[in-house]
């Protein structure tokens, strides 16, 4: 399997409103963007578990505060809270189970920059109880 990648993104401050850089082709030459979609997560809700068979997901939080959890192997996880205060992009290659939780008081908004257009048959889903993880 390819490796999970977490990298900081830049924020350009402006007194009228900051500019948050999201995706620069020059920094992501190996990503062939086919679709960008947004997923809302209500406060304190969890969306888990999903695994893509061939799609690579590049996740950026554009609003709120979201915990992203990735199962590296059975019983071993990577957990990262991303928000404007911890502005990063998380790249999740195919074949990793992952989920996310809105941990802020406002609706979270997550962008997924992917190398494939969405197809239902390309991914698998499990209920939250199928993979044991302490979300607290």
Per-domain residue ranges of the chain: 5-130
List, for residues 80-107, the tens digit of each pLDDT value: 999 999 999 999 999 999 999 999 899 9
What architecture (CATH level 2) is domain 5-130?
Sandwich (2.60)
Q: HEC states along the chain? A: CCCCEEEECCEECCCCCCEECCCCHHHCCCCCCCEEEEEEECCCCEEEEEEECCCCEEEEEEECEEEEEEEEECCEEEEEEEECCCCEEEEECCCCEEEEEECCCCCEEEEEEECCCCCHHHEEECCHHHCCCCCC
Sequential pLDDT tens for the chain (136 residues): 679 999 999 999 999 999 999 888 877 778 889 999 999 999 999 999 999 999 999 999 999 999 999 999 999 999 999 999 999 999 999 999 999 999 989 999 999 999 999 999 999 999 999 999 999 9
pTM of the model as a whole: 0.91
pLDDT for the residue numbered 28? 77
């Amino acid at each position: 399997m390819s490796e999970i990648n977490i990298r900081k993104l830049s924020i350009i401050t402006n007194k009228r409103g900051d500019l948050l850089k999201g995706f620069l082709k020059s920094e992501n030459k190996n990503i062939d963007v086919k679709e960008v979609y947004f997923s809302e997560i209500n406060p304190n809700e969890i969306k888990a578990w999903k695994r893509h068979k061939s799609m690579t997901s590049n996740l950026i939080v554009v609003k709120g505060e979201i915990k992203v959890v990735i199962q590296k192997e059975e019983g071993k996880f990577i957990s990262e809270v991303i928000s404007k205060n911890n502005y990063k992009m998380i790249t999740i290659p195919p074949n990793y189970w992952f989920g996310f939780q809105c941990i802020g008081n406002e609706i979270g908004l997550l962008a997924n920059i992917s190398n494939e257009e969405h197809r239902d048959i390309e991914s698998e889903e499990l209920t939250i109880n199928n993979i044991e993880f302490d979300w607290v």
